[in-house]
Structure 1
Amino acid sequence: MVDKYRIGICIAAVTFLLFFTTPIVHDFRIGHFAYFLIFIQIIFFNDIIFYNSYKFLKKLFIIISVFAIVFWVLNAMGVPLIYYKCTPAFRTESVLDNYRIYGPVLSLYRGNMPIGGGIERICGVFAEPGHFGIYIGLMLAIEKFNFYEKRNLLLLITGFLTFSTAFYGIFCLGVLYKLLKYKRITTDIIRIVAVLFFTAITLLFFSDRFVETIYGRVVENKREEVSGVVDLLDNRVPDSHITKFESFIHSHDALVGLGYDNDEMVGTNWRGVVYRFGIIGTVIMLLLIFSIARKGSMKYGFLLAAIALLIVAHRAYLMFSPAIYMMLLTAVYVNRTKESFIIKIEGLDK
């Protein structure tokens, strides 16, 4: 299926592919190049294919979430569990980083302590709790944060137990979206606040471990004062990198960046995108995001764009492959399919 919307995304995606994955500007990245070629083809799939594929993906996430919560509760209760310990080479943050694989799910540890300290953070089958939290947040965005459905409540609790700053940010954007859409506090919002409140009260039994996990890991050994979102993100970046970035942005390299394989700048923060791919690369990335998010209602488009920008700011390296863009595109196509179903049903009722 070809229309102006899909053609616009295709043009943005091809531009992204040429700039980010080919040796025209930087190095040839064959993996990302192949992924984006597939993504460009998928753009033109029929909406119903996206809808059916999403239903399967959601069932998979529900199964993973159930297992993740069960093992999390057992660990929290101190039940001895059999696990396989794996120390991956790609965990460069610390030589102590290791995974405990329980079978259907895993957990990330630093030495003998859960990553971030305190209590264990749910990872599901992902490399980090933050990754799982981001994808759960995107899935809830596809659902338009409808918590009348019990499965979405399960995803909400799982996302909460990832203790992911990004998930909490996406959740807040979702609540803001519902407030702007309905212009009142709905029973749906009361429902999710109640669920999170009782979940938090339960976790307070862990006392200092809970506080350390949900808050202390963000500001520990960093700046003592956090006055806003910018400070919260900057707390995850060494001062030396911020100073280096300020020098870089005024140099002649700022236009196209210094290339992907550059370890001089942290890759999680938005500065990592600009440092590696310059102002031009950053603009191309934003164009791809907004070319996808512009379809449908303005409020929903702003929600998708805001979530994508939050991911750029918090886990920028996830935006170098097409997975996040695919989730954003799925959100548009799935909700467009749902709307067409509603229109057909209403037409039959008349």
Structure 2
Amino acid sequence: MGSKRSISISITNITVLLYALYAIRWVWLAFNTVEYSSVFYYLNQMVGYMCIPFGILLLLKTMRAKKRNMFLIILPLTYWLYCFIHSYTDHSITYGVFTLLSISIFLLFDTNVKIRIFNCFYWIVQGTNIISLFLWFFYILNVNIGFKMVTFYSDGAATYGMYYIKWLIFAIYNQNMVNRLCGIFNEPGALGTLCALLLIARFRCSKLWEKILLIATGALTLSFAFYLLIFAFFALYLIRKNIKNVIWVVLLAVVFISVPRIDWGNEVLNTFAARFEITETGFAGDNRSTDQLDSLVKTLEADGKALFGYGEGYTSNTHSSSYKELIVQFGYVGFSVLVLEWLIAALMLGKKNIDAKIIIAFFFISLYQRPSTILSIYGYLILLGGIEWLNEQTEIEKACCN
């Protein structure tokens, strides 16, 4: 009996780690190609492939699945059906099956397993944040500890400052004399948005040093999304504490809006501040869409594609990251179905938890710039796993009070 128990615990622990690493991969890792590092690439591929067999073993161990969890499978199944039935490029029935299976297995896990995966994900991110901050300061202080400059992707438009230790890669994005922290991810915005969402999800139940670490890391990404999400969250936090704080929030909003008009005496700071200028089309820092994508949205109705779009994969050459991509691919009907399914599922899990509703709101705000989040395991973990974690914290607090 003792040996069987130890084996089952090992399967659970391995599955938790695999899914946490798999989700981190889908935040979009830097240099996750054979050209940059074959070891790093194949290791990440192996992590993804191992999720399914270990996940199935864990499900067989419990031999049960809640009806609520089975209902959640509708989310990845809907997108898979879209890809198969309505694709711009012909796909076989096996297209996307691996992603469908890995996400479905995650959704079928018991609540405690999802919470453990969310926790593991969180602490891996925080661990890499600590390393990233140390490397950032070494880089800025010109301390040579083995940095290498490599081309950003393949367009040569910018460079990465890269520090390499065995198979672990940390990046600093450098463009126009501005250094932006990327951590282990391919873009500073990916790390910034992730730090913001984790801070919001765990704010009430995290220690001060955890909050500082997330804020410091996110701040060094110089991510427009990070600053906007954090400002909105703290504004809401102040108002929740005391409605009279709305006066301070308005004053802070005025300062926030005035940032682009201030001469900071430094070209780098002025360039960064300019991203917060409000223009006719919104914030100047909102660069997730492109003229090509905007043009496609305008031609949807003229082409008779407004309802169901041009098909999955149609926006692959627009070089953008905007919710408009989903509209162009699946039309207003398809886009609405995808988003509403997520919203219903999230509210179903967090309907009795005000903190869960807050992370739901900010998660959906973040989709404005990063819609692919709802198409990968990362989105399922950060939102649904985060809600389950918040529900557990609430139950723990209630038990302590009784």
Tell me which interval the TM-score lies in, with the shorter structure as reference length.
0.7 to 0.9
The residue correspondences of 1:138-157 to structure 2 (distance < 5 A) are 138-144=197-203, 148-157=207-216
Give identity over the alignment, percent: 17
Task: Give a deviation string over 1:227-248, Cα, whole Å, max 9, x none.
Answer: 4784447655444542342122
- In structure 2, relative to structure 1, the CA distance for the partners of 1:279 and 1:344 (3 Å cut) is same
Is 1:64 aligned to residue 128 of structure 2? Answer: yes
What is the one-letter code of the residue matched to 2:390? N
The alpha carbon displacement at 1:68 in A equals 1.0
* Larger displacement relative to structure 2 (229-238 or 314-323): 229-238
Residue 146 of structure 2 is aligned with which of 71, 82, 93? 82
Is contact 1:105-1:123 (8 Å) kept? no
Is contact 1:267-1:317 (8 Å) kept? no
What is the one-letter code of the residue matched to 1:247? T
Task: Give a deviation string over 1:5-28, Cα, whole Å, max 9, x none.
Answer: 4344222332222214xx222143
Is 1:15 aligned to residue 49 of structure 2? Answer: no
Task: Give a deviation string over 1:296-340, Cα, whole Å, max 9, x none.
Answer: 347435433332333321123343323123210111110111122
| Partner SS, residue 160 of structure 2 | strand
What is the match of residue 262 of structure 1? 315
What is the one-letter code of the residue matched to 2:342? I
What is the one-letter code of the residue matched to 1:344? A
Aligned length: 318
Is 1:273 aligned to residue 326 of structure 2? Answer: yes
What is the one-letter code of the residue matched to 2:223? S
The residue correspondences of 1:197-276 to structure 2 (distance < 5 A) are 207-212=266-271, 214-216=272-274, 218=275, 226-227=278-279, 230-232=282-284, 235-258=287-310, 259-263=312-316, 265-276=318-329
Is contact 2:296-2:328 (8 Å) kept? no
Distance 1:227 1:147 in 2: 37
Distance 1:31 1:76 in 2: 44
| Partner SS, residue 252 of structure 1 | coil
Is 1:287 aligned to residue 340 of structure 2? Answer: yes
What is the match of residue 45 of structure 2? none
Structure 1 unaligned residues grouped into runs of 5+: 220-224
What is the match of residue 43 of structure 1? 107
What is the match of residue 156 of structure 2? 95
Distance 2:192 2:284 in 1: 17
- In structure 2, relative to structure 1, the CA distance for the partners of 1:264 and 1:107 (3 Å cut) is closer
| Partner SS, residue 256 of structure 1 | coil
Is contact 1:133-1:162 (8 Å) kept? yes
- In structure 2, relative to structure 1, the CA distance for the partners of 1:208 and 1:232 (3 Å cut) is closer
- What is the TM-score of this pair, normalised by structure 2? 0.68
What is the one-letter code of the residue matched to 1:43? L
The residue correspondences of 1:312-327 to structure 2 (distance < 5 A) are 312-327=367-382
Distance 2:353 2:279 in 1: 30
Residue 231 of structure 2 is aligned with which of 148, 172, 178? 172
Distance 2:204 2:281 in 1: 22
- In structure 2, relative to structure 1, the CA distance for the partners of 1:31 and 1:146 (3 Å cut) is farther
Task: Give a deviation string over 1:16-52, Cα, whole Å, max 9, x none.
Answer: 22214xx222143867432232212212322222222
When the two chains are superposed, the root-mean-square deviation of aligned CA atoms in Å is 3.4
Is contact 2:327-2:334 (8 Å) kept? yes
| Partner SS, residue 305 of structure 2 | helix
What is the one-letter code of the residue matched to 2:237? K
Distance 1:306 1:249 in 2: 30
The residue correspondences of 1:85-124 to structure 2 (distance < 5 A) are 85-87=149-151, 91=153, 94-103=155-164, 104-109=168-173, 114-115=174-175, 117-124=176-183
* Larger displacement relative to structure 2 (155-164 or 247-256): 247-256
- In structure 2, relative to structure 1, the CA distance for the partners of 1:11 and 1:290 (3 Å cut) is same
Residue 97 of structure 2 is aligned with which of 23, 26, 33? 33
Distance 1:287 1:19 in 2: 15
The residue correspondences of 1:182-201 to structure 2 (distance < 5 A) are 182-184=241-243
* Larger displacement relative to structure 2 (315-324 or 229-238): 229-238
The alpha carbon displacement at 1:161 in A equals 0.8
What is the one-letter code of the residue matched to 1:151? E
Distance 2:244 2:150 in 1: 46
